[in-house]
Amino acid sequence: MISLEQLSKVYQSKGKTVIGVDDVSLDINKGEIFGVVGYSGAGKSTLLRCMNILERPTEGKVMVDGIDLMTLNSRDLRKARQSIGMIFQGFHLAMAKTVLENVAFALKASGVNRQERKRRAQELLELVGLSDKADQYPAQLSGGQKQRVSIARALANDPKVLLCDEATSALDPNTTQSILKLLKRINRELGLTIVLITHEMEVVKEICDRCAVMEDGKIVEQGSTYEIFADPENELTKRFIQTVIDFRIPEKVLSERKGTIVHMTFKGDSANESVVSDLLQGYSIRANILHGKIDYIQDQALGTFVMELTGERKVVQQAIQDLREKLGEVEVLQDDRSTDQSLARAE
Ligand SMILES: Nc1ncnc2c1ncn2[C@@H]1O[C@H](COP(=O)(O)OP(=O)(O)OP(=O)(O)O)[C@@H](O)[C@H]1O
Ligand SMILES: [Mg+2]
């Protein structure tokens, strides 16, 4: 649905060159929810704004629904933009207009008559659960309700794509959840392709089918949300995931442990299998769980465990090797320190 090819955006401000987006190529499929995460200044908004040429790329190609947006004249571009809705962190509503007028106004440019605009706006307010607020003004609404109005407005011209720039960043966790649910519902019901940028990995975990991580204008990693969570490669990606799945064990706890401490990730079915108890049965070693959690990402289980394995060193090594064969990566967070202790005692 959206295809970016070697896209770059360079700003010249006060004689200085600032790179907003640096050689990004990206394909977003029809009907998916695609997330872009990154810290402030990573280039997320610039990338998103290039997708509807609110920001004209310095280099590269932007294809949306088979149309090369960079080649359009301003009239055709305005028309093409009608199929690309957009919502923002700050809602951008007209404060002097009622809720209904805000939504109806978006239909004006497409030449729909007054009565039809009103009917369609009412329908959209119903879709986002705000029919009872039609005659109120934005100032009378909560943040979540304002964002619903801006979603209704963005959907007015039946877009194929919805671009969301930090749409939930100004909202509390509960309201964020309800807006994410709404986005997911319109994604499924209307077959809408959604691109969502955020600095919250929790938001990605909640609704994105696939995602990309951005740093310094570049995409440093991308893939299905599940695979990104299960097998992050990039250090930055790992840091983002840690905000959702934090398996760090306090130093004090680690220092009191003498066995081998391992971190492992169980994917899909193996998260539910009795891998841990098999391990206990098969070897004469003990396993203490220091951290254990199963997350559900896109309805698939992902288990994260940190365990202390104690027993004969050789047997523990063998168990870790077998686990690696079964599970993939098993990371040793702290080596066995029982021998160090006996050495210390011998001194
Ligand atoms: N109009 C502009 N003129 C000059 N530089 C700009 C302009 N817009 C963005 N930039 C620069 O481009 C880079 C990327 O900015 P961008 O707003 O895309 O980041 P972001 O990832 O959206 O950050 P945030 O999470 O804070 O919104 C930054 O270094 C920023 O200073
Ligand atoms: Mg931004």
Would you list the domain boundaries of the chain? Answer: 2-242, 251-346
Reading across the β-sheet that carries 300-310, which strands appear in turn?
286-297, 300-310, 260-267, 330-334
**What is the rounded average pLDDT of the residues 87-108?**
91
Lowest mean pLDDT across 47-56, 84-93, 134-143, 316-325: 316-325
Q: Whose CA is nearest to atom 16 of ligand 1?
A: 43
Phi and psi (nearest 5°) for 80? -60, -35
pLDDT at 276: 67
CATH fold match for the domains 2-242 and 251-346? no
| Protein residues placing their CB within 5 Å of the ion ligand 2 | 45
Pairing of strands 218-224, 67-68: unpaired
Does the Cβ of 42 fall within 6 Å of ligand 1?
yes
- The pLDDT score that the predictor gives to residue 270 is 63
Rounded Cα distance between 127 and 143, Å, is: 18
Task: Please provide the CATH number assigned to the domain covering 2-242.
Answer: 3.40.50.300
The pLDDT of residue 279 is 66
Choose the residue to mutate in 7, 8, 40, 169 for probing ligand 1, maximizing ligand atoms within 8 Å of C-beta.
40
Q: Where are the beta strands (DSSP E) in 133-217?
A: 161-165, 193-198, 210-215
Letter for the amino acid at 198?
T
- The CA 198 to ligand 1 mean position distance, Å, reads 14
Q: Which fold has domain 251-346?
A: Alpha-Beta Plaits (3.30.70)
Query: 14 or 223, which is more confident?
Result: 223
Per-residue pLDDT band at 275 (split at 50, 70, 90): low
* d(C-alpha 192, C-alpha 143), whole Å: 23
Q: Is 118 or 108 the better-scoring residue by pLDDT?
A: 118
63: pLDDT confidence band, cut at 50, 70 and 90?
very high
Q: What is the average per-residue pLDDT within 238-249?
A: 91
- In the predicted model, what is the mean pLDDT of the chain? 90
Q: Encode pLDDT of 178-196 as tens digits.
A: 999 999 999 999 999 999 9
Q: Which of 13, 39, 44, 50 most suits a substitution to test ligand 1, by most atoms within 8 Å of the C-beta? A: 44
